[in-house]
Amino acid sequence: MTNPHSTDYDAIVVGAGFAGIYQLYTLREQLGLSVRLFEKGSGVGGTWYWNKYPGAMSDTESPFYRYSFDKELLQEWSWSRKYIDQPDILAYIEEVVKRHDLLKDIELDTEIRSIVLDESTDTWTVTTAAGESYTARYVVTALGLLAAVNVPDIPGMDSFRGRTVHTAEWPDDLALEGKRVGVVGTGSTGTQFIVASSKIADHLTVFQRNPQYCVPSGNGPVEPGEVEGYKSRYDEIWKQVRGSQVAFGFEESTIAASEVTPEERERVFEEAWQRGNGFYFMFGTFNDLAVDLESNEAAADFIRRKIAQVVDDPETARKLTPTQAYAKRPLCNHNYYEVYNQENVELVSILENPIVEIVPEGVKTADGIVHELDVLVFATGFDAVDGNYRRIDLVGRDGITADQHWEEAPTSYLGIATTGFPNLFMVLGPNGPFTNLVPSIEVQVEFITKLIDTGEKRHVIVETTQDVEDGWSVICSDIANGTVFPKTDSWIFGANIPGKKSSVLFYMAGIRSYGEVLADVAANDMKGFRLTPVKQAVDA
Ligand code: FAD
Ligand code: NA7
């Protein structure tokens, strides 16, 4: 141990999803630090531990939704469908934990309530919900960017006689067979749930606020030899992924929709529709759908026409058809619009006919109808990015809390560090990369490991400063404002939570550009980080 101050652990990690697990691994195995990871769930897996709703799956294609660091596991672990379902992702994460013997350093069922800096010793005290406190010189928060659940406040919620559940808190004992189910929300989660539950439930009522664009996923069994093909190419695959923009394993298009004929646009969109995948549709077809409103409208128009073709009832098709720009996180699903041709599925537009209250029998809408239900599901998303940070007492220099520091907006340097919080690093903090997330998690964890290694080897405290953080915020805002994404309200800007100030929450220039920034920081003596000598312990 290089620091004269004695602490319980060198480093504490909070959160046992993809991010925290890899961080525990690198700090322990590469730096040889003593590390404790605290996780409030009863198991590891993060997102994939909590989200057990019917239909829960990744919409990143299977080969690319996994770690790259364990080369042996890449060869051993197989998959049978184009996309991996939640149980398989969870089993995969559990296998990683098992084979690297990580569980011995993980404390499950332990919610962290506060993380407080002691400036006299530059150490952090981390306190659990049970009131136990631990100290460490470094803290890595891997709290999840889509993990703090958002449940709307609707009058009469408590009066409902059936069961109410948020998709990210799906209980093991809730079966939908033979039930009348209602679902509020038609985002990525909602559409997955709708497709799956429409096959199980007796009757499904979908309460849709803003309709979204959804393209086919192309899901299905893998072709013979497909998995082996990927396995033989993993080195080049990860190089391509980290050298791309959205890290989804395909080459982004270099052709602008604005530069080709309408016929060519139609051909390319149709090909992408047949291929499947939301990010592919937005970034693999043309390079300007996310930055040029006219090109974006061409894609939107194509999807609208598909909805009209697929959905039999014109009134249902009208309600399902978005009019806004195609500018939220792109969705994909297998046979989503087809579901609305089923007799047991009913669509209620709560934009036109709002929910007024929940009553014992179900959901009452403004037209006076009570939609009778046994189960009411909220697929209403998350207080994204900073949500979990606001739910703990995170106190840095001068007693300033993260909440106070982020009063105007959650900000950071590189999505990793924020001013006044020395030796505390975030994975997927505010203004980190907007991509397929496991590759970006790996990039960030590896960089945080370098920062901590710098602290250890040079006996310095590592922290960022306000001017540097402000500079990164400007870069992120400029990039985001050059895209079409601010044209709609969504969690990408924190605009889905009532009362939350809308702000830029992501670095939208892609993983390649992000990696280049990190490489430049590292090559220039950790540019943007202040490195100050560790204080000597009073009684050392
Ligand atoms: P998480 O997996 O969210 O883990 C955070 C952990 O921190 C949780 O286990 C939580 O319990 C714990 N925690 C939080 N606060 C505390 C506390 N105070 N004390 C103790 N523990 C705490 N991303 C993609 O790239 N592709 C996809 O296809 C995709 N699909 C998704 C589908 C769903 C339904 C959801 C919800 C998300 C999806 N995501 C997807 C995003 C996904 O969250 C990330 O890909 C990734 O799993 C995030 O890993 P993480 O470790 O950063 O966070
Ligand atoms: P999203 O994308 O935030 O979607 C939430 C959905 O819930 C969306 O349709 C919302 O409608 C709807 N919603 C939210 N609040 C309300 C209220 N108060 N009333 C009615 N409807 C509401 O969350 P997801 O979980 O689907 O996806 C988030 C990410 O996690 C996703 O990218 C995946 O990676 C997993 P709105 O559009 O706001 O009108």
CATH number at residue 445: 3.50.50.60
Percent of the chain with pLDDT strictly greater than 90: 98
Q: 432 and 527 share a domain?
A: yes
Q: 99 and 126 share a domain?
A: yes
Contacts of 408 (CB under 8 A, 6+ apart): 501, 503
CA distances from 450 to 8, 31, 38, 493 (A): 22, 9, 22, 30
CA 47 to ligand 1 center in whole angstroms: 4
Q: What is the DSSP letter of 416?
A: T
ipTM entry: 0.99
User: By three-state DSSP, how is residue 230 classified?
Assistant: helix
- Phi, psi values for residue 370, rounded to 5°: -100, 115
* Pocket residue to mutate for ligand 2, from 209, 352, 440, 487, most atoms within 8 A of Cβ: 209
The answer, yes or no, to whether any atom of ligand 2 lies below 6 A from the CB of 86, is no
Q: 132 and 120 share a domain?
A: yes
From 297, 328, 359, the end of a domain falls on 328
Rounded Cα–Cα distance for residues 102 and 100 (Å): 5
Q: Which ligand is nearest to the CA of 182?
A: 2
Residue 7's pLDDT band (cuts 50, 70, 90): confident
Percent of the chain with pLDDT strictly greater than 70: 98
Identify the residue whose C-alpha is closest to ligand 2 atom 16. 380
Q: 104 and 19 share a domain?
A: yes
Element (H, E) at 18: helix 18-25
Rounded Cα–Cα distance for residues 405 and 422 (Å): 14
Is 4 contained in some domain? no
Question: Which domain does 19 fall in, by range?
Answer: 9-148+383-533
- Location of structure tokens 């009757």: 203
Element (H, E) at 275: helix 262-275
**Secondary structure of 68-98 as H, E, C letters:** CCCHHHHHHCCCCECEEEHHHHHHHHHHHHH
Residue 1's pLDDT band (cuts 50, 70, 90): very low
The answer, yes or no, to whether any atom of ligand 1 lies below 6 A from the CB of 126, is no
The alpha carbon of residue 163 and the mean position of all alpha carbons in its chain are separated, in whole angstroms, by: 27
Q: Report the pLDDT value the prediction gives residue 6, as an integer from 0 to 100.
A: 75
Rounded Cα–Cα distance for residues 184 and 166 (Å): 10
- Is 2 a residue whose pLDDT tops 60? no
Is 3 contained in some domain? no
**Which tens digits make up the pLDDT trace of 375-405?**
999 999 999 999 999 999 999 999 999 999 9
Is 540 contained in some domain? no
* The pairing of beta strand 35-38 with beta strand 112-118: unpaired
Taking residues 485-489, report their average pLDDT.
95
**Which tens digits make up the pLDDT trace of 491-515?**
999 999 999 999 999 999 999 999 9
CA 50 to ligand 1 center in whole angstroms: 9
Nearest to 27, CA basis, from 9, 11, 46: 11
Q: 289 and 350 share a domain?
A: no
- Location of structure tokens 């960022």: 464
Is 539 contained in some domain? no
Q: Which residue type sits at 260?
A: V
Q: 235 and 317 share a domain?
A: yes
CA 530 to ligand 2 center in whole angstroms: 39
Q: Report the pLDDT value the prediction gives residue 344, as an integer from 0 to 100.
A: 98
Q: Report the pLDDT value the prediction gives residue 537, as an integer from 0 to 100.
A: 61
Taking residues 318-323, report their average pLDDT.
98
Q: 183 and 110 share a domain?
A: no
- Is 538 a residue whose pLDDT tops 90? no
Q: Which ligand is nearest to the CA of 493?
A: 2
The answer, yes or no, to whether any atom of ligand 1 lies below 6 A from the CB of 18, is yes
Nearest to 65, CA basis, from 249, 275, 235: 249
The answer, yes or no, to whether any atom of ligand 2 lies below 6 A from the CB of 191, is no
Taking residues 88-93, report their average pLDDT.
98
Tokens standing for residue 54:
């019917």
User: By three-state DSSP, how is residue 111 classified?
Assistant: coil
CA distances from 463 to 34, 40, 468, 532 (A): 21, 27, 11, 9
Tokens standing for residue 399:
């007693």
Alpha helices in 328-395 (DSSP H): 387-390
Is 340 contained in some domain? yes
Q: 118 and 260 share a domain?
A: no
Tokens standing for residue 174:
């809730």
Total count of domains within the chain: 3
- Is 185 a residue whose pLDDT tops 90? yes
| Contact criterion met (CB below 8 Å) for 182 and 377 | yes
Element (H, E) at 191: helix 188-197
- Location of structure tokens 């609208």: 304
Q: Average pLDDT of the chain?
A: 97
DSSP 424-493: EEESS-TTEE-SSHHHHHHHHHHHHHHHHHHHHHHTEEEEE-HHHHHHHHHHHHHHHHTSSGGGS--GGG
- Is 367 a residue whose pLDDT tops 70? yes
Count CA atoms within 13 Å of residue 228 on its CB side.
3
Contacts of 166 (CB under 8 A, 6+ apart): 149, 151, 377, 378, 379, 380
- Phi, psi values for residue 322, rounded to 5°: -75, 150
Is 65 contained in some domain? yes
- Is 237 a residue whose pLDDT tops 70? yes
Q: Report the pLDDT value the prediction gives residue 491, as an integer from 0 to 100.
A: 96
Taking residues 132-146, report their average pLDDT.
98
Which residues lie across from 166 on neighbouring strands? 378
Taking residues 261-285, report their average pLDDT.
98
* Pocket residue to mutate for ligand 2, from 188, 195, 488, most atoms within 8 A of Cβ: 188
* Pocket residue to mutate for ligand 2, from 59, 380, 435, most atoms within 8 A of Cβ: 380
- Provide the whole-model pTM: 0.97
Q: What is the dihedral of CA 264, 269, 275, 279, to 10 degrees?
A: 130
**Secondary structure of 280-343 as H, E, C letters:** HHHHHCCCCCCCCHHHHHHHHHHHHHHHHHHCCCHHHHHHHCCCCCCCCCCEEECCCHHHHHCC
CA 498 to ligand 1 center in whole angstroms: 22
Q: Report the pLDDT value the prediction gives residue 540, as an integer from 0 to 100.
A: 38
Q: Which ligand is nearest to the CA of 436?
A: 1
Taking residues 146-160, report their average pLDDT.
97
Q: 363 and 347 share a domain?
A: yes
Q: 402 and 356 share a domain?
A: no
CA 22 to ligand 2 center in whole angstroms: 28
Q: Report the pLDDT value the prediction gives residue 536, as an integer from 0 to 100.
A: 73
CA 145 to ligand 1 center in whole angstroms: 6
Q: 421 and 515 share a domain?
A: yes
Q: 52 and 158 share a domain?
A: no
- Is 525 a residue whose pLDDT tops 50? yes
Is 538 contained in some domain? no
- Is 539 a residue whose pLDDT tops 70? no
Is 374 contained in some domain? yes
Taking residues 453-471, report their average pLDDT.
98
Nearest ligand 2 atom, CA 351: 39
Taking residues 451-464, report their average pLDDT.
98
* Pocket residue to mutate for ligand 1, from 44, 93, 146, most atoms within 8 A of Cβ: 146
Q: Report the pLDDT value the prediction gives residue 231, as an integer from 0 to 100.
A: 98
